[in-house]
Structure 1
């Protein structure tokens, strides 16, 4: 294996430090507000209610949650028979400022549409996500070992060629930076692993405990939970429909606003 040169070691360390220190200059927050149905303010929050053929839906915006916007939804069965509830039956169409249908960026001939997340499916993917993250950490460990071996080999090789004190000092500084860069990368790798595993723990809790569950509602019963819709950054409105095949399609319209704020760093 050919040792890394001093300049290459410095460059590699510099790239690592840059990757660690770089961050987004702004933070974008999604806000939704009901714009259709029977709207009322409950506990300071706008809530909308709509019903069709005995199937009632009460909904309000809960919060932004990772890659989703979250609606707090209650479904009520006012019919004389049982109905099957599934959060994946919530579908939406993205609308522009004039409530015109937006086109799919991947295909201009199609409308920009989507469906709510299926909690059962998403919960089943958690173990796969964790295993993929463990594999990523193992690959990072191997790469870090290669970097360290190369840095040591370069250090040994160049140290024996120092002719002056200045060359010795420059060599020590350069390799010190390289070792520090590797140590930073290793710490970042473990921190990223821990953060992602913690996120997956939260996601699993979200899908199992918070999300609206698929269920059978008898007449007079209701069920409540969170419905998670994928974010659509360029939408001004989301036209949402809860559909029960051959029975009801309950429409909901939410106005969406994106608020951008400068990301500032406070001194401690």
Structure 2
């Protein structure tokens, strides 16, 4: 799924591409500057728009409008996509070289792979489900609390080493030390300082990690589409997270509506930089 990231491993002369997603058919519908794909089933309107790529995920925003007289359950875990790809171009003759796409040109996954001398990975063998945010939110909260407890925990070994170093320093006051005694006291002091510096660094890392996980959980709680029952006349919008798959030319996203699904098609484009 990190297919385009492999471009840097190819020849230094290989082209690079900017990846993007858009509705396969223009709709003229926009939300915050993003074009939306639209589908209607049983009078329920569903809109999807591409938000961004994350390192391992692709993010969409889903919007549901329920004008009916019945309640509707919207479950992000019920979303799926099917990836597709355009056929590879015919291979050139033995002596002929495949021309490089010009800057600004939009090309298929197969053309991009050929221009970078990379193999095309296979398409996912089955429909790929969206991530359910609830388990991730719970896990992030639990891990954040665990890291926070570790960061706040008293380091008794560090205190003991510090106390031992202080005790040897106090005991040496007014006494003439041998070289061996001085070296031993210095070794205890150095060990205490080194340990406490490392311990403090670890605690800072744990505190930072705790804060990052708290923020990620809070972001998912605020922005992710979460399982909800829409009463008649209500609407909801939120982010959907799918595994990222760069080597596809398009996706058919299956959005749940009641006991069925509606397809929304997106084209994945790569523009030569």
Q: In the alignment, which residue of structure 1 is the partner of 2:222?
A: 209
Distance 2:220 2:140 in 1: 10
Q: In the alignment, which residue of structure 1 is the partner of 2:260?
A: 247
Output the aligned Cα RMSD: 4.6
**Correspondence 1:133 to 2:147:** yes
Contact 1:95–1:102 under 8 Å retained in 2? no
CA-to-aligned-CA distance 1:220-249 (integer Å, 9 cap, x gap): 432112222233354443332112363332
Contact 2:70–2:232 under 8 Å retained in 1? yes
Distance 2:80 2:74 in 1: 14
**Correspondence 1:34 to 2:27:** no
Q: How many residues align?
A: 209
Distance 1:134 1:187 in 2: 14
Q: 1:59 aligns with which of 43, 48, 54?
A: 48
**Correspondence 1:74 to 2:63:** yes
Q: In the alignment, which residue of structure 1 is the partner of 2:81?
A: 92
Distance 1:259 1:57 in 2: 32
Structure 1 204/38 Cα, relative in aligned 2: closer, same or farther at 3 Å?
A: same
Distance 2:259 2:55 in 1: 34
Deviation at 1:131, TM superposition (A): 4.5
Distance 2:121 2:44 in 1: 26
Distance 1:259 1:133 in 2: 43
Structure with greater strand percent:
1
Structure 1: segments with no counterpart, 5+ residues = 1-25, 105-109, 153-158, 161-167, 261-268
Q: In the alignment, which residue of structure 1 is the partner of 2:135?
A: 121
Distance 2:202 2:267 in 1: 40
Deviation at 1:102, TM superposition (A): 3.9
